[in-house]
Amino acid sequence: MNGITIALSKGRIFEETLPLLAAAGIVPDENPDTSRKLIIQTSRPDVRVVVVRASDVPTYVQHGAADLGVAGRDVLIEHGGAGLYQPLDLNIARCRMMVAVPEGFDYAHAVRQGARLKVATKYLRIAREHFAAKGVHVDLIKLYGSMELAPLAGLADAIVDLVSTGSTLKANRLVAVEHVLDISSRLIVNQAALKLKRESLAPILDAFTAAVRP
Ligand code: PRT
Ligand code: MG
């Protein structure tokens, strides 16, 4: 493919990437939140957007099915980053990775006692490294969504999940007890494309760099 393909997920990443794309003179013809199209043309005939699941963005870029993509630090850590160049923190879709437990659960006590904690999460690698670094023994339970339910239903003692406003935790009577990581989204580039398409990619990278807000 001669043009440039950009992999984005719909929702917050698409929305928050729009101003950066605009800075590079790229305006998508449609919004994936209202359109069912998975390939979206743009104001530039040489640039198209493919709409994929957030956790699939690194895979498309790694294999060169997309030249560029935007993915959360959470997604990139879980993916591992093979084949990806990560030149730029876009400082968008910001949130925090947290450990949360039901209101009233004495987390500090459980950890002090050396109890084996059951932790449900979508983010196995991040959770494993976090608890290993603290020397806390955990049994990790992999989930694909709705982590908040796990402690309420008796599946786990704690969860590791993303928090932005905190309203999801609050609505489910959970409290954040530990900060794991600050999260934002990054521009990712296929390593081969960066060499082979340098002339067309460089101006986009420069425009993104200039448009990133601190
Ligand atoms: O939904 P899908 O399974 O396709 O993928 P996804 O959930 O990973 O995609 P999406 O679009 O929801 O998230 C894309 C990226 O946005 C993530 O990889 C994060 O880097 C980033 N991001 C920023 C967030 C949030 N903020 C966020 N609040 N991702 C998810 N959430 C969820 C969180 O998991 C929890 O369920 O929102 C809920 C908490 O929000 P508050 O505001 O109630 O605290
Ligand atoms: Mg989601």
pLDDT digits over 1-29, tens only?
689 999 999 999 999 999 999 999 999 99
d(CA 140, ligand 1 centre) in Å: 20
d(CA 32, CA 18): 12
Model pLDDT, residue 1: 65
Protein residue with least CA distance to atom 29, ligand 1:
162
Q: Which of 39, 55, 31, 58 is nearest to 1 (CA)?
A: 39
d(CA 200, ligand 1 centre) in Å: 31
Query: Of all atoms in ligand 1, which is nearest to the CA of residue 164?
Result: 44
**Domain boundaries of the chain, sorted by first residue:** 4-94+184-212, 95-181
Spell out the alpha helix ranges (H) of 53-139.
57-62, 73-79, 107-112, 124-134
Distances (CA, A) of 16 to 10, 20, 35, 93, 195: 10, 8, 17, 7, 27
Q: Domain 95-181, CATH 3.40.190.10 — does that match?
A: yes
d(CA 110, ligand 2 centre) in Å: 30
Protein residue with least CA distance to atom 34, ligand 1:
162
pLDDT digits over 94-135, tens only?
999 999 999 999 999 999 888 899 999 999 999 999 999 999
Q: Which of 122, 162, 169 is nearest to 141 (CA)?
A: 122
SS3 171: helix
Which strand (E) or helix (H) includes residue 41?
strand 39-41
Model pLDDT, residue 30: 97
SS3 11: coil
d(CA 145, ligand 2 centre) in Å: 8
Model pLDDT, residue 113: 87
pLDDT digits over 134-172, tens only?
999 999 999 999 999 999 999 999 999 999 999 999 999
The average pLDDT across 55-73 equals 98
Query: Of all atoms in ligand 1, which is nearest to the CA of residue 75?
Result: 18
d(CA 10, ligand 2 centre) in Å: 10
CATH topology of domain 4-94+184-212: D-Maltodextrin-Binding Protein; domain 2 (3.40.190)
Q: Which of 44, 32, 46, 50 is nearest to 3 (CA)?
A: 46
Query: Of all atoms in ligand 1, which is nearest to the CA of residue 73?
Result: 20
